[in-house]
Amino acid sequence: MSEVLSIRDYFTRSAIAFDSLYSQQQSNSFVRFVNHRFRRDIYERFLLSLNHVRRFHLDSVLDVGCGSGRYAEAFAQLGIRTVVGIDLSEKMIELAKQRTHHAGIEPEFLCGDFMEFETTRVFDVAVAMGLFDYVADPLPTLKRMRSLVTHSVVASFPSISWYRTPIRKVRYFCKRCPVYFYRRKQIGILGQASGFASTHIKKIEGAGQDYFVIFSTVHDPDFDMFSSNQDLDSPKLPLDYLKKN
């Protein structure tokens, strides 16, 4: 079985459980504590992504590996004009459509392999949160994203940890799903090789310590991509938003 099929099958099997990581209503207090304490990077990258889109007034978003639509829903609720999500898992897309329909918003969701996604459209930004964890060769994927954006790509990359990496590798091996890890230098090389003008990397605090990365089409290495005066700059926002969903 190819890696793409293995990944698709894994997320189809675990769609509901994965979506619950973003939900504060459906979990008991212990699970909420564990998620907030040990999966803080999930909430942090959510906030950083929303801040980025708001700060630069980006009006069209391509969400690659959109999962159950949490990001797409948030972007649509922010008033982003065009939101398109794509994911391998039919179950994830089903959850995404159900959630956004009930919320009265209608992002566009597509089920399929991003590398086979045919479109003549371009987007201001592509979002790839939790995607590169499962991509063996990230360069073609990142190049493809570069060809579809005018401003930037925001993405997360799991960092290499002497204790966490082996544990996660074993855990995902048992789940029959590949997983990959990255070094900061490697990410910078990927950005340059993909045709981006600059790459901005921030290591997120938390158990996972993911890298949150902005690949920009504009070369301005001294500009602080992570500072923002937008009203989304509250660490409570992800939880406040999630409690409503």
Compute CA 169 distance to the chain's CA centroid, rounded to the nearest angstrom: 20
Topology (CATH) of 3-16+27-243:
Rossmann fold (3.40.50)
**Surface-to-core class of residue 214, CB atoms within 10 Å of its CB (0-12 exposed, 13-18 middle, 19+ buried):** buried
Evaluate whether 114 touches 92 at the Cβ level (below 8 Å).
Answer: no
Alpha helices in the chain (DSSP H): 3-13, 15-20, 29-38, 40-55, 70-77, 90-102, 138-146, 164-174, 184-193, 237-243
Neighbours of 110 (CB within 10 A): 13
C-alpha span between 37 and 33 (Å, rounded): 6
For the chain, domain boundaries: 3-16+27-243
Evaluate whether 68 touches 95 at the Cβ level (below 8 Å).
Answer: yes
Q: Which run of H or E residues covers position 153?
A: strand 149-157
C-alpha span between 155 and 64 (Å, rounded): 10
pLDDT in tens, the chain (245 residues): 477 776 777 656 665 666 566 655 445 554 454 445 445 778 888 999 999 999 999 999 999 999 889 999 999 988 999 999 999 989 989 989 988 887 677 899 999 999 999 999 999 999 999 899 989 999 999 999 999 999 999 999 998 877 776 677 777 667 777 888 899 999 999 999 999 999 999 988 765 578 999 999 987 655 666 654 344 443 334 444 434 44
